[in-house]
A and B are shown apart, each in its own frame.
Chain A
Amino acid sequence: MAGRPRDKGVISRGEEQGLWRDVWHQLRRNRLAMSGLVIFLGFVILALVGLSLTTGKSPLLDPSLVRLPEKLRPPLAKARADLLHPEELPPLGIYLMGTDELGRDVFSRMMQGAWVSLTVGFVAVGIAVGIGIVLGGIAGYYGAKPLRIGTILGLAGLFSGPFALASKRLDIFLLLEGAGILVLVSTRYLGLRKGFVARFFTLPCVSVDTLIMRAVDVMLCFPSFFLILTVVAILPPSIYNIMAVIGLTSWMGTARFVRAEFLSLREQDFVLAAKALGLSDARIIFRHLVPNAVAPVLVSATLGIAGAILTEAGLSFLGFGVPPPHATWGNILSDGKRFLFDAPWLTLIPGSAVLTVVLAFNLFGEGLREALNPRLRRSR
């Protein structure tokens, strides 16, 4: 597993491998979870194959080729060679999954869409897990350490700068950022000197932990799908915006898990040993604590990917997804809904594809959760 601590004497290698081998044994016996894993791997391969077949100058499968005479052909229909140019014929001469209302080959569109679903899922969850680990880690590790008033004021200046920029006041923006940096730097070194101002700026205020956890509370107050919808509707349509927005609105769970794990881990002896060896905080956090806290994160990431794929499909369905010429499973379904009764395959095929992939992620994630939770293990 990635992120295994390699420093000798902190956690012995054998023990760590033992955990994952144990988890693997538990997983092997869970047939639902294993079939989830198999489908998941198959989906990754399919998405990669799809990407290579549908891009380039003259792709084997062209997802955007319009064949107007061949509208709404059912799956497995033979292409009518007399109506098409030879280069417009699909491979093998049949439409494996039929064609849509513009005569585009649904099979090639599905292959292209697989890659979109995969990247949206992984990138969005990657962003969320990254933010969650960093913020949760800081909150859990530095926990009670109080921030100085100067630090908070400085950060407030830095973060409110962009608002000034938004109302097109460049001067105020520069003023805020400059003042923020100035206050931050001076607070860092003012502690040495005396005087009223210095003492005010170095007064301890709320702790880092409180600050970050209140931020989590604020984020949890938003109804997430509504928030995502608002942001995506306002921003120009693009696949990267969707990934970023889904990622930025779903890090709170990970942050909470990681914080809880860190709170208990940081009291343990191996952390004390690492500190005594003089390791830097960053090294302790990322090399020693994160690998030990990775289990719950992995579970929530697996389930998060399923959620992100569903959200993307929902957004595409409402018309806010990836912009049109590019096919995604969500917008194939969304285009197909008008032909629900005449061409049901336009709804059924992408719908079942999303269902299968999301189901696989969910089953695998839950299997992982069960395998990692010693209390839920069956007695042997």
Chain B
Amino acid sequence: MISFLARSIVQKLVTLFFVSIVSFAVVHMAPGEPSQVDPMNPKFTPEVVERFRKAFHLDEPLHVQYLLFYGDLLRGKTVSWKDNQPVLAKIWERFLNSLPLFLVGSLLTWTISFPLGVQAAVKRGSLLDKTTTFTAYFFISIPGFFFAYLLIVGVVEVLRVPVVGMETFGLSQAPLTHRVMDRIWHLVIPSILGATVGVAELSRYVRSQMLEVESQDYIRTARAKGLPQDMVHYKHALRNALLPFVTMFGLMIPGLIGGSVIIESIFSWPGMGRMAYEAIMARDYPVILTLNFLSAVLVLVGTLVSDILYMLVDPRIRL
């Protein structure tokens, strides 16, 4: 156990090192550099550009820039090129904004998709199965932004649910309960949007996992010895089908950064996805690279957590 942990942590650190090289290379190999982003701007005289290049070490060779950048990052001193604010503080602020969206979305996803998927598998070929199958593919295939606009047209006009930002402007004087309710109200549409795709994918996965288990020999044995159907389905099959989902708790973690660029930019939600989008637009390399690095860290931590969880719940696995 200890040796497994030590080995996999070393391996993950090596992976992280290569991730840092690749992402640095991707950003810096591009033609042009940030000091040339706006050559027509009269404020960007050659002297200013030179000073800018010096201040951010752009005049150094690439490997020196690499060491300087990741040195700063590890000491937490990286600053954004756009406004000279510390990057980590900016990301933390955006992270707190993304968190409720992520939590509500995942909560909805997990609570809805398990009953759906299990029922579809148990009643394979029934009307319920066919309907959920088609609906799931429908929501997997719909472009997120198109679905968002359909929701905006359909729901907003009728129910008057707010769709812009996290809170109504100018409410800072309102009583606390009012402000909390306002926040929750703003969460409705974006989190429904995130959850529908999540439910569609996860319920398909639950269904196929359940079917896989239902075709095992021990299920046939359970049937053969005359157990009631419900007992077979929910005691023998479901328990074993649930195993792989324990590991998904670990793999969910990276979704915090990656999954929400489009949704957050449609709903003007000041979260991390939108921050990534804005940083890319402004060629704010420190922010882009830091976000990339952090999400790689999250992926690696996630896989580690899921390995450990798997070991804890499945006695057949000894690492």
Contact = CB atoms under 8 A, between A and B. Distances in A.
Interface in B54-108: 61-62
Contacts of A217: 15
Report, as a range, how many residues of chain A touch the other chain. 35 or more
Nearest to B64: A167
Interface stretch (B18-26, B183-191, B231-239, B306-314): B18-26
A32 interface: yes
A373 to B, nearest CB: 9
B112 interface: no
Contacts of A375: 212, 215
B146 A355 contact: yes
B299 A226 contact: no
Contacts of B296: 221-222
Given A229-B261, A230-B26, A234-B27, A169 B276 contact: no
Interface stretch (A89-97, A103-111, A339-347): A339-347
A362 B25 contact: no
Interface stretch (B40-48, B137-145, B170-178, B241-249): B137-145
B28 interface: yes
A363 interface: yes
A2 interface: no
Interface residues of B, number: 56
B134 interface: yes
Contact of A166 (B29, B133, B134, B137): B29
Contacts of A234: 26-27, 30-31, 283
B61 A358 contact: no
Contacts of A276: none
Interface in B1-49: 11, 14-16, 18-19, 22-23, 25-31
Interface in A334-378: 337, 340-341, 344, 347, 351, 354-355, 358-359, 361-363, 366, 375-376, 378
B152 interface: yes
Contact of A314 (B31, B133, B257, B262): B262
B258 A224 contact: yes
Interface in A69-93: none
A236 B137 contact: no
25 contacts: A163-B62, A169-B61, A214-B15, A221-B295, A221-B299, A222-B23, A222-B295, A223-B254, A223-B259, A226-B257, A226-B295, A230-B288, A236-B31, A314-B262, A317-B143, A318-B265, A340-B153, A344-B153, A355-B141, A358-B142, A362-B137, A362-B141, A376-B208, A376-B211, A376-B212
Interface of B: 11, 14-16, 18-19, 22-23, 25-31, 61-62, 125, 133-134, 137-138, 140-146, 149-150, 152-153, 208, 211-212, 215, 254, 257-259, 261-262, 265, 276-277, 280-281, 283, 288, 291-292, 295-296, 299-300
